[in-house]
Amino acid sequence: MAMPSNFSPFFKICFFTLMLITLSACSSSDDDDGDNTGHIKFFNASPNSPGIFMTIDEELDSEDDEEYESTFSAISYGNAGSRIELESDQYYIELAWQDEDSSERSDLEILFQDQIDIQDDNTYWVVMSGSVESPTVDIFTIADRDEDEIDEDADSDVSNLRLLNLHPDYSSVDVYFSDTDETFNEATLLNTATLSALGENMKIAQDQYLIYLTAAGSDEVLFSSDDVSFSFNAQYVISLRENQGSGGAPFVIDVITNTSITEYSSAESLAKITVFNGLNLNENDLTYNGAVDVVIEGVTDIPLIDALNYSEFSQSFQVDSGDYRFSVTNDDTQLAMLENRLLSLSQNTNQSLFLYWTEEAVDEDGDGNVDENDDGIIDEIRPIVSSVLVDNSELQRLYDKQITLLNLVQSDDFSTVAIYFVKSNEIISTTSNVRRLAQGVSSSITLLNNTYSVFAVAEIDGNEIILDELTLTLDEDTEDQFLLLEQDDDAGSGYVLTLFSQNN
């Protein structure tokens, strides 16, 4: 058999390995009965879905304890569940989401139900894609390798690879590989991935590669990866998904094995950044008028952020990913408040940079004593501009929402704040939806669509004090939110809860 002249070296290895395996398979015995088990694995590729529960049930109408029935933990978008071993038999599978407090199977909202025949030595991939309102569910079968093939693969140092195209706007995608010191000009066409079809198995030499995607038949690169490692004698699936991030490239890819999933954004993806001024008027800096100028310098030139007022976001800037420095000046006096702080922006991210006050005691003579006159009061407090970088959610989920919480408050009275989300049939002491925040630390919570009373509570002098409260209504049209605790001298407690869309 002649070798095509345009095969690259690593494909030659795989080609000869495939020939050896094929010859070996032709001469081997088919008497191996296996262990009478198969496997099933779920991958959630529905971008607007909540976490999806998969239930496997041997008999829908039976309450017999000897019949197999299990509901597995919810899998969020872009993630895959564990590879589950089952005895070879027929089962019902259900995909459902939690629309009430309970995650019991009987309380879940079913999206999909079907019967599946689990056969020996096969792994069944259940893939949900499209809108959660009317999802597409595909079940793909991958034959497990027998011991001879596993040994052959180990001796030849190859990995097994299949392609799965889930991008709704591209019916066919050409997938190219190159060595990590090469470019698309040197890349070799691996295969064409057809929409909602799992490709045939391919064997590639274990190594690191760059992956490129183009529309079928085109030489315009739509996606180019950083180094992707195929280091194990294992079955890999590369899924091609629609990019939900800010990077500009239409694709992200997932490299999925039986035990892991890794997402890769395009190496050329951009980043998005916005700045929030959480610096209120400060009695320790009487020159500050509540507005700052922010300069961000680095890979991409960003216009001066001029006169950014307290409790306001700047506009968003789309920039090259990489390392930047930023400086903050008093808009009124033009005195530096912070200089040359590192700002690292990862590819395909949308992030917000929050500015807030911290403080330190001044030790003028360096003797370690900040109360020189021993009156029990620190002689001088120096205000410090601190910052925290927080990821913005860009998902458009229908049935639940992500709320990212951030405490920007500096207080001598308390160090942490509890944020409670209370539904109409609950009180603060009974809700399970609570997060506790130290200053400058963010936390996220995912809430089902509903109306919540939100309370910020701090312990002061042994008493629980409500700092502020508001009403939060989440529905299908609500975007994911930031919930900030800020200083507000006009509020009775001196503090206020504020909501902002994360899609700024």
Same structural domain, 243 and 323: no
With respect to residue 1, please indicate whether it lies within any of the assigned structural domains.
Answer: no
Count of Cβ atoms closer than 10 Å to residue 228 Cβ: 18
| 19 band by pLDDT with thresholds 50, 70 and 90 | very low
When pLDDT is cut at 50, 70 and 90, the band that residue 367 belongs to is: low
Note the pLDDT of residue 66: 75
Residue 443 contacts residue 465 (beta carbons within 8 Å):
no
Judgement on whether residues 331 and 451 belong to the same structural domain of the protein: no
Residue with tokens 């309102």: 133
Summarised one tens digit per residue, pLDDT across range 340-361 is 999 999 999 999 999 999 987 7
Q: For residues 354 and 222, state if they share a domain.
A: no
Can you tell me the distance from the alpha carbon of 192 to that of 277, in angstroms, rounded to the nearest whole number?
48
Per the domain annotation, does 29 fall within a domain?
no
Instruction: Give domain status of residue 89, yes or no.
Output: yes
Q: Domain boundary residue among 392, 410, 427?
A: 392
Helices 9-27 and 147-156, packing angle to 10 deg = 150
Mean pLDDT, residues 4-25: 39
**Domain check: are 371 and 419 in the same one?**
no
8-state DSSP, 21:
H
Query: Cα angle at 196 between 269 and 479, to 5 degrees?
Result: 50
Give yes or no: residues 253 and 349 share one domain.
Answer: no
Residue 443 phi, psi (nearest 5): -150, 150
- For residues 377 and 459, the model is more confident at 459
- Specify the pTM: 0.87
Q: Does 2 reside within a domain?
A: no
E-assigned strand segments in 411-480: 416-422, 434-438, 442-448, 451-460, 463-473
Q: Using CA atoms, how far apart are residues 269 and 29, in angstroms rounded to an integer?
A: 50
pLDDT (0 to 100) of residue 64:
72
Task: Count the residues in the chain.
Answer: 504
Phi and psi (nearest 5°) for 200?
A: -65, 155
How far apart are the C-alpha atoms of 8 and 431, rounded to whole Å? 60
CB 465 within 8 Å of CB 455? no
The token duo for 121 is 């030595």
In terms of domains, do 294 and 237 share one?
Answer: no
Return the closest-CA partner of residue 223 out of 120, 347, 115.
Answer: 347
Report yes or no on 30 lying in a domain: no
On the question of pLDDT at 166 being above 60, the answer is yes
The reported pLDDT for the residue numbered 365 is 58
What is the count of structural domains for the chain? 3
Mean pLDDT within 255-267: 96
Q: How many CB atoms lie within 10 A of CB 404?
A: 21
- Single out the residue of 407, 488, 482, 398 nearest to residue 445, CA to CA: 482
Confidence of residue 375 (pLDDT cuts 50, 70, 90): low
How does pLDDT run across 271-325, given as a tens digit for each residue? 999 999 999 999 889 899 999 999 999 999 899 999 999 999 999 999 999 999 9
Do 260 and 278 lie in one domain? The reply is no
Question: Are residues 198 and 219 located together in one domain of the fold?
Answer: yes
Average pLDDT of the residues in 432-460: 97
Nearest Cα to 474, choosing from 390, 393, 394, 398?
Answer: 398
Write out the two tokens for 310: 């307290």
Q: How confident is the model at residue 198 (pLDDT cuts 50, 70, 90)?
A: very high
| pLDDT given at position 22 | 38
Q: What is the mean pLDDT of the chain?
A: 91
Last residue of a domain, one of 361, 392, 423: 392
Q: Residue 32's pLDDT is what?
A: 39
Q: pLDDT at position 389, please?
A: 98
Query: Which pLDDT value is given to residue 372?
Result: 57
CATH code (residue 348) = 2.60.40
Residue appearing with tokens 């499209």? 130
List the alpha helices (DSSP H) in 140-244: 147-156
Query: Which residue range(s) make up the domain with 378?
Result: 269-392
How confident is the model over 66-101, as pLDDT tens digits?
A: 789 999 999 999 999 999 999 999 999 999 999 988
Mean pLDDT within 135-154 = 96
pLDDT tens digits for 428-438?
A: 999 999 999 99
Say if strands 207-215 and 202-205 run parallel, antiparallel, or are unpaired: unpaired
Token pair recorded at residue 421: 């989300």
State the first-to-last Cα distance of the chain, in angstroms, to the nearest integer: 59
373 pLDDT above the threshold of 80:
no
Point out the domain boundary residue: 246, 264, 282.
Answer: 264
pLDDT at 284: 86
Quick one: CA torsion of 334, 286, 379, 356, rounded to 10 degrees?
Answer: -70
Q: pLDDT digit string (tens) for 415-425?
A: 999 999 999 99
Q: Which two tokens stand for residue 123?
A: 């792994």
Average pLDDT over every residue of 129-142: 97
If you average pLDDT over residues 378-391, what whole number do you get? 87
How many beta carbons lie within 10 A of that of residue 44, not counting itself?
A: 25
Rounded to whole angstroms, how far apart are CA atoms 476 and 109? 16
Categorise residue 269: left if φ over 0, alpha if ψ from -120 to 50, beta otherwise.
beta
| Contact residues for 249 (Cβ-Cβ < 8 A; gap 6+) | 222, 223, 243, 265, 266, 268, 269, 348
Examine the pLDDT at 366 and tell me if it is beyond 80.
no
Instruction: Tell me what the mean pLDDT of segment 102-131 comes to.
Output: 96
Are 251 and 212 spatial neighbours (Cβ–Cβ below 8 Å)?
Answer: no
Handedness of CA 183, 185, 190, 191 (dihedral sign): positive
Phi–psi pair at 313, nearest 5 degrees = -90, 145
Q: Looking at the structure, do residues 144 and 260 belong to the same domain, yes or no?
A: yes
Residue 379 lies in a domain: yes
What pLDDT does 25 receive?
A: 36
Beta pairing partners, 65: none
In a domain, 3, yes or no: no
Please indicate, yes or no, whether residues 386 and 460 belong to a single structural domain of this protein.
no
33, pLDDT greater than 60: no
Provide the pLDDT for residue 65: 74
Q: Which pLDDT does position 319 carry in this prediction?
A: 96
Of 442, 439, 435, the C-alpha closest to 456 is 435
User: Does residue 298 lie within any of the structural domains?
Assistant: yes
Which pLDDT does position 474 carry in this prediction? 98
Q: Residue 449's CB: how many other CB atoms inside 10 A? A: 17
CA–CA distance, 420 with 434 (Å, rounded to integer): 5
Least reliable range by pLDDT among 3-17, 350-364, 380-394? 3-17
pLDDT at 31 over 80: no
Same domain, 157 and 82: yes
> How many Cα atoms are found within 13 Å in the side-chain-facing hemisphere of 205?
15
- My answer on whether 99 and 213 are in the same domain is yes
Report pLDDT for 244: 93
